[in-house]
Copies of this chain bind each other. A is one copy, B any other.
Amino acid sequence: MESKIRAGIFGGSGYAGLDLVEILTGHPRIDLVFATSNTYAGDDVPGTSLKFAPADSVSLKQVDIIFLALPHTASAAMAKKGIDAGVKVVDLSADLRIDTPEAYEQSYHSPHPHPELLPTPYGLPEINREKIAGADVVATPGCYPTTTLLGIYPLLRLNALCAETPIIVDAKSGVTGAGRKPSLTTHFAEVYSNLIPYKTGRSHRHVGEMEQEAHKVSDQIGPIIFCPHLIPVDRGLMSSIYVTLNGTLESEELHDLYAEEYDGEALVDVLPAGEQATLKHAVKTNKCVISITPVLPRYAHITSVTDNLRKGAASQAVQNMNLMFGFDETMGLI
């Protein structure tokens, strides 16, 4: 029996934090030492013998790795502390996902709290496995970038997109994506029977992040038009992606190219041609599931789905941890 790594979670009582607790307690090489929560301090951590601890009551000396499921900006500060203390850090917030302070300020409209941490390896293992493997700190992308980038990655690799036309992403997210803190936005009676577009076009903070990562793979890429919608389900995220090809290949060829590209990826499924990816394909799994429909020779419709709390957050964080410690990448995940 191999020794265990000691892990702590900062922000364990949010929805991503709770899924992280569930995954880590079932992981064969992890000993979960603490989960912090200021709001629910003293309550049981589900499925464990722990109680949620106030953030200032735990010590970094107790652990080998910390997971940060903290609000924007609080996360960067704790990442800095973790690095200084010599523990590994998996950040689930957006704080470390942008490569430069300048680009960060453009998306977030305030200076980066710890520019010395940038750039941090971007924790999308299917694209960035090598950089994650050797890292002490990793920025795990959230549900929208993960689902969207995996949905177009083979096209980027093939330089097959038309650089003059936008990539259109009509995205739909379950309500846990809006966090656990109560607000009118997440009130049952406001969401039930409804469908709510928000921050559509290029105003959502994740547009810059998606374009940054896409450009690393291909320069054949137009602007991303991104229109997210809140849907009346608790979990699940769908990116419906509309792409224009540059003519180097035809849309009919895409399915096989996707299947080939993701062959060997345990956590990405490409559905058989003709089958459509639905939310249920991904919910409560750790996978991204993709379907491709050729529309016209130069146009295709791609549907990419994940569980926003799993491959879009907690399970991807664990996937990154596995790489950082040299464990099997899917340990505790399949």
**Residues of B with C-beta under 8 A to A208:** none
Nearest chain B residue, comparing its CB with the CB of A191: B188
With A and B bound together, what is the CA distance between A197 and B302 in angstroms? 11
Interface SS majority for chain A: mixed
How far apart are A328's CB and chain B's nearest CB, in angstroms? 19
How far apart are A64's CB and chain B's nearest CB, in angstroms? 29
On whether the beta carbons of B232 and A233 are closer than 8 Å, the reply is yes
Per-residue contact bits, chain A 211-255, to B (CB 8 Å; 1 contact, 0 not): 000000000000101010101111110101010100000000000
Residue from B182, B193, B294, B301 in contact with A182 in the complex, judged by beta carbons closer than 8 Å: B182
Residue from B175, B197, B242, B293 in contact with A189 in the complex, judged by beta carbons closer than 8 Å: B175
Per-residue contact bits, chain A 175-189, to B (CB 8 Å; 1 contact, 0 not): 110001011101111
* With contact pairs A15-B189, A293-B200, A293-B201 given, residues A195 and B233 touching in the complex (Cβ less than 8 Å): yes
Residue from B194, B238, B295 in contact with A225 in the complex, judged by beta carbons closer than 8 Å: B295
With A and B bound together, what is the CA distance between A229 and B291 in angstroms? 14
* With contact pairs A182-B187, A183-B182 given, residues A194 and B279 touching in the complex (Cβ less than 8 Å): yes
Which stretch from A151-159, A165-173, A313-321 is at the chain B interface? A165-173
Q: Is A85 an interface residue (CB 8 A)?
A: no
Nearest chain B residue, comparing its CB with the CB of A162: B165
With A and B bound together, what is the CA distance between A108 and B187 in angstroms? 27
On whether the beta carbons of A189 and B186 are closer than 8 Å, the reply is yes
With A and B bound together, what is the CA distance between A223 and B233 in angstroms? 33
On whether the beta carbons of A193 and B280 are closer than 8 Å, the reply is yes
* With contact pairs A233-B192, A236-B195 given, residues A184 and B187 touching in the complex (Cβ less than 8 Å): no
Nearest chain B residue, comparing its CB with the CB of A283: B193
Residue from B15, B200, B234, B301 in contact with A276 in the complex, judged by beta carbons closer than 8 Å: B200
Residue from B232, B236, B284 in contact with A188 in the complex, judged by beta carbons closer than 8 Å: B232
Nearest chain B residue, comparing its CB with the CB of A291: B197
* With contact pairs A188-B192, A191-B188, A301-B227 given, residues A197 and B236 touching in the complex (Cβ less than 8 Å): no
Per-residue contact bits, chain A 75-106, to B (CB 8 Å; 1 contact, 0 not): 00000000000000000000000000000000
Q: Which of A189, A201, A276 has the most CB of B within 10 A?
A: A189
Can you list 18 residue pairs at the A/B interface with Cβ under 8 Å? A170-B240, A172-B172, A182-B182, A182-B186, A186-B189, A192-B233, A192-B234, A194-B278, A194-B279, A195-B278, A197-B240, A197-B291, A200-B276, A200-B303, A201-B294, A225-B301, A231-B232, A232-B232
